[in-house]
């Protein structure tokens, strides 16, 4: 069993135009920046991939990472809970110009839709958003005297995730709050690509502490000393 691949560029080489892509991270924490950068560089060289539907909690910050994908015009639709940041220009300008579609989802509903997608549960009911604009058009049902909104699962063609330790089987651990959406997205994509900060031999990660079992992972690429979005933005780096 060996799911490893040598470089981020090879890991993301097959992602086609029009794909749906879940990207892990909450703001910069857990953002798989080297995988995103490989996608951005491919787009700059070849014009592909474009027309992507991206699932992320946010819409990027500054001119790196997901914000760079948006500013370069690679993304046609965002599914997210909070499309704002310290420097949200890339998304704001595209959205106000009508160049990008937005599906706004409450954060817990977003997480649960991804979880449901990975667990084979096509829909579920939640009190979240009942009676609000975000429940418009969705079925409502009453259980034990309380009203709930039906939400559907969310799946994707690809997931790009950052983890801390990974082995050739795809078993993963995460680092601190960088875990966030990562374990959920790994389960909900047809192809899950993970950048790990330390690639270790099978048997090195104690099975008791594995967070994502390798069955949910297709490709593992080691990126030692990964960049942090917050620090790139403070240095005013631009990938655009």
Which residues of the chain form contacts with another protein (CB under 8 A)?
26-30, 57, 81-86, 88, 91-92, 95-96, 102, 104-112, 114-115, 126-134, 174-184, 211, 228-231
Instruction: Give least dist CB 114 to another protein, A.
Output: 8
d(C-alpha 131, C-alpha 122), whole Å:
22
CB of 104 to another protein, least distance (A): 5
Beta-ladder partners of 123: 152
Judged by DSSP in three states, 108 sits in: helix
Torsions phi, psi of 4, nearest 5? -80, 155
CB of 57 to another protein, least distance (A): 8
Q: Residue 140 corresponds to which tokens in the numbers above?
A: 């409502």
Minimum distance of another protein from residue 102's CB (angstroms) = 8
- Which parts of the chain fold into alpha helices (H)? 8-11, 33-46, 65-71, 89-96, 107-119, 182-188, 229-234
R_g (Cα) of the chain, nearest Å: 18
In total, the chain counts a number of residues equal to: 240
Which CB sits closer to another protein, 44 or 84? 84
Which of 117, 67, 56 is closest to 90 using CA atoms? Answer: 67
The residue to which tokens 């270790």 are assigned = 200
Residue 105 C-beta: closest distance to another protein, Å:
8
Q: Based on CB atoms, which residue is closest to another protein, 17 or 236?
A: 236
Q: Among residues 95 and 210, whose Cβ is nearest to another protein? A: 95
Q: Report in angstroms the alpha-carbon separations of 226 from 55, 68, 186.
A: 21, 17, 19
Please say which residue, 15 or 36, places its beta carbon nearer to another protein. 36
Q: How far is the CB of 88 from another protein (least distance, A)?
A: 7
Task: Put residue 98 in one of left, alpha, beta given phi > 0 → left and psi -120 to 50 → alpha.
Answer: left
Residue closer to another protein by CB (options 15, 114) is: 114
Q: Which is nearer to another protein, 43 or 148 (CB)?
A: 148
Q: Nearest distance from residue 2's CB to another protein, in Å?
A: 26
Question: Which of 42, 59 has the CB closer to another protein?
Answer: 59
Q: How, if at all, do strands 146-152 and 123-126 pair? A: antiparallel
């Amino acid at each position: 069993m060996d799911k490893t691949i040598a470089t981020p560029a090879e890991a993301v080489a097959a992602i086609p135009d029009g794909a749906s892509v879940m990207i892990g991270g909450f703001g910069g924490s857990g953002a798989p920046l080297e995988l995103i950068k490989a996608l951005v560089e491919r787009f700059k060289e070849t014009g592909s991939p474009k027309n992507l539907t991206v699932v992320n909690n946010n819409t990027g910050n500054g001119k790196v990472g997901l914000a760079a994908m948006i500013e370069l015009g690679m993304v046609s639709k965002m599914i997210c809970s909070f499309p704002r940041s310290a420097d949200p220009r890339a998304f704001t300008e595209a959205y106000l110009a009508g160049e990008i579609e937005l599906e706004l989802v409450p954060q817990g509903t977003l997480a649960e839709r991804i979880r449901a997608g990975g667990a084979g549960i096509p829909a579920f009911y939640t009190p979240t958003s009942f009676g609000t604009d975000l429940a418009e058009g969705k079925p409502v049902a009453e259980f034990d005297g309380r009203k709930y909104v039906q939400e559907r699962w969310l799946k994707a063609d690809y997931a790009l995730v950052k983890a801390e330790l990974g082995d050739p089987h795809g078993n993963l651990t995460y680092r601190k709050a960088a875990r966030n959406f990562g374990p959920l997205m790994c389960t909900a994509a047809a192809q899950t690509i993970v950048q790990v900060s330390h690639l270790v031999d099978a048997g090195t990660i104690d099975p008791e502490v594995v967070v994502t079992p390798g069955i949910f992972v297709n490709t593992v690429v080691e990126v030692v000393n990964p960049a942090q979005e917050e620090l790139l933005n403070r240095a005013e780096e631009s990938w655009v």
